Amino acid sequence: MAAGVERVGEVAQPRVRAWGTVLRADTTAGPVWLKAPGPATVFEVPLYRLLATMVPRFVLDPIAIDLQRGWVLLPDGGPTLREQIGDRDLSEVMTRVLPQYAELQLELQPHAEDLLAAGVTDMRPAVMPQRFDEALEVTGRYAETSGDAEAKERHAWIAGQRAEFTARCADLPDRASLDHNDLHTNNILGGPDDSVRFYDWGDSVLAHSFSSMLIPLLALTKLLDVGPDDDQVRRPRDAYLEVFGNPAELVAELDLACWIGKVARTLVWERSLHGDPGEYADAPLETLWSLRMNSWHFPA
C-alpha cells in the first residue's frame, strides 16, 4: 500500500455496532485498525485528519483516510486505560488524565469553524434551544410508538421545560471546543502515569468545553459507587477545571454546561442509532428525562 505497510495476517472484525464497525489486521508495521463509521458519524474520518494536524500529541495519526468510502486506518495505540487499570485507582488516574483533555480543548478553542467544516455538529449554547426542539421530536416519536404511558408522561414533562432550558442556555458563556461526548477509560489510550491519547470521536460535537465532563463524572460515581459530591469525584473535576482557571469559580458553569449537554447527548444517541435502536431504544428519552437533575447528575 502507499504507506509502505503490508498485511501479514487475517483480518478480524472485533466490533460491530449500529453506529459503525472496526476491523483489525497484523501488518509489517504492527497491528492496524480500520474504522468504518455509520453514515451519521462519518464526519469522524476527516476529523481525525484535522485533529492530527492541530493537536497531534493527543490523538492517533491516521495511516490513511478514504473520504469517499468513509474509512480511516489507524495505527495501534496500545491498550486502553480500562484494560490497564479496570476500576483500580480510577479517581487518581482521571485526576492526571482529565487535565490533558482540557489542554486539548484549549488548543482547539480558536478552531471552531474548522471543526464545523469537518462535519462536527454545532451544539454551542446559542443553538441549544433549537436542539432541544429536535430532541423533543426524537423522544416524542419514541413515546408515541412505544405505547408506554410512563414514556408519554416523561416526554410531556420535558416539553414543559423548554422556557427554562432556553433561559439557562443564555446564562452559559460561549467557551466552545470539541466535546468528545463519550469520554471514558475505554476511549483513552496510554498508561496511567504517561501522556495519553484520546480515541473514538464519533460522538463528538462542538459545544461548551465543560459539557465534556458529563460522561467522566457519571462514570466515576457509578464505577466507584460514590455520590456526586464525593472527594473521588471532586478531585478529577477540579483538576480538569484548573486548566481553565479557579475551580471554585467554575463549578457552577460546569454544572450548567453538563445539564445543557444532556440535550446534545440525546441527539448523539439518535444519530448513532440511525433508525436501528435495538436495546438502546429508550436511551434518548432516559437521557433527556435526566434534565430533572439540576446539573450533570443522572438518577440512581
Q: Residue 298: its pLDDT value, please?
A: 77
Which structural domains are found in the chain, ordered by start? 12-75 (3.30.200.20), 81-292 (3.90.1200)
Backbone phi, psi, residue 59, to 5°: -140, 165
CB 198 within 8 A of CB 53: no
The CA distance from 151 to 210, in Å, is 29
| Average pLDDT value for residue range 249-271 | 96
CB 120 within 8 A of CB 43: yes
Q: Judge whether residue 110 has pLDDT over 80.
A: yes
The CA distance from 227 to 26, in Å, is 43
Q: Residue 275: its pLDDT value, please?
A: 59
Beta bridge partners of 17: 20
Q: List the strands of the sheet with 176-179, edge to edge.
A: 121-123, 205-208, 176-179
Confidence of residue 29 (pLDDT cuts 50, 70, 90): confident
Task: Convert the pLDDT of each residue in 226-257 to its tens digit.
Answer: 999 999 999 999 999 999 999 999 999 999 99
Percent above pLDDT 70 for the chain? 97
CB under 8 Å, gap of 24 or more: what pairs does 268-273 form?
Answer: 268/181, 268/182, 268/203, 268/205, 270/135, 270/138, 271/40, 271/41, 271/121, 272/18, 272/19, 272/38, 272/40, 272/41, 272/202, 272/203, 273/18, 273/19
Q: Which of 7-11, 39-43, 220-224 has the lowest mean pLDDT?
A: 7-11
The CA distance from 218 to 226, in Å, is 10
Nearest to 217 by CA among 204, 230, 198, 199: 230
| Identity at 129, one-letter amino acid code | P
Task: Convert the pLDDT of each residue in 146-194 to its tens digit.
Answer: 888 999 999 999 999 999 999 999 999 989 999 999 999 999 999 878 8
Q: Residue 147: its pLDDT value, please?
A: 83
| Average pLDDT value for residue range 29-56 | 92
Helix (H) or strand (E) segment spanning residue 207: strand 205-208
Q: Judge whether residue 4 has pLDDT over 80.
A: no
Residues 6+ apart with CB under 8 A from 6: 27, 28
Nearest to 240 by CA among 270, 213, 262: 213
CB 154 within 8 A of CB 290: no
Determine if the pTM surpasses 0.85. yes
Q: How many CB atoms lie within 10 A of CB 229?
A: 9
The CA distance from 177 to 86, in Å, is 29
Helix (H) or strand (E) segment spanning residue 102: helix 90-108
